[in-house]
């Protein structure tokens, strides 16, 4: 699994609208222990701005549009989510910043672990040190 990647979910369309199912270990590569959602965000606001040590998450925009700046060592990318059948998988030690929430936007996050304050890395320099060491080790052990 990449450190972060876009996932495409099934979109079950009928005259009754769209239904998108997300089953643990099938549509996302982990057991779902928690979900959370973010609503009512002003367009100028930023959220996120941290990484996690172990948590795996999938971010899905269910209404409107939300942009996510992803940072990993030697890599930076902006992903805009505006489609309920697309999810952004974010693994451990990937820094993310959420911005450009349109009016009425809804962000759903499906998460692999219960909430743990100890799992957060909110200092960017500390993040870079830990991520560079971990990604280097990961590269060295790849076949």
Using the rule CB under 8 A, is 47 a contact of a copy of itself?
Answer: yes
Stretch that binds a copy of itself, among 18-26, 71-79, 87-95, 125-133 (CB under 8 A): 18-26
Query: What minimum distance in Å lies between the beta carbon of 79 and a copy of itself?
Result: 19
User: Residue length, the chain?
Assistant: 143
Distance CA 65, CA 24 (A): 25
- Please, which residue, 103 or 138, has the CB nearer to a copy of itself? 103
Please pick, from the candidates 18, 54, 76, 137, the single residue that binds a copy of itself as defined by CB under 8 A. 18
Give the DSSP H or E segment for 134. Answer: helix 124-141
Please indicate whether residue 3 is annotated as part of the active site. Answer: no
**Residue 106, by phi and psi: left (phi above 0), alpha (psi -120 to 50) or beta?**
beta
Say how far apart CA 5 and CA 21 lie, in whole Å: 19
From residue 25, alpha-carbon distances to 28, 29, 88 in Å are 5, 5, 16
Binding residues for a copy of itself, how many (CB under 8 A)?
Answer: 36
7 binds a copy of itself (CB under 8 A): no
Binding site for a copy of itself (CB under 8 A): 15-24, 26, 32-42, 45-47, 60, 62-63, 84, 101, 104, 106, 108, 110, 114-115
Q: What amino acid positions are annotated as catalytic residues? A: 50
């Amino acid at each position: 699994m990449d450190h972060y990647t876009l996932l495409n979910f099934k979109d079950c369309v009928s005259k009754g609208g769209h239904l998108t199912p997300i089953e643990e270990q099938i549509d996302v590569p982990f057991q779902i222990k928690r979900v959370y959602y973010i609503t009512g965000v002003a367009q100028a606001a930023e959220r996120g701005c941290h990484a996690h040590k172990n948590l795996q998450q999938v971010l899905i925009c269910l209404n409107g549009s939300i942009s996510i700046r992803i940072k990993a060592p030697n890599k930076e990318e902006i992903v805009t989510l505006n489609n309920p059948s697309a999810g952004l998988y974010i693994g451990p030690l990937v820094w993310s910043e959420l911005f450009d929430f349109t009016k009425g936007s809804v962000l759903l996050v499906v998460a692999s672990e219960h909430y743990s304050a100890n799992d957060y890395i909110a200092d960017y320099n500390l993040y870079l040190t830990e991520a560079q060491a971990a990604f280097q080790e990961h590269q060295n052990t790849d076949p």
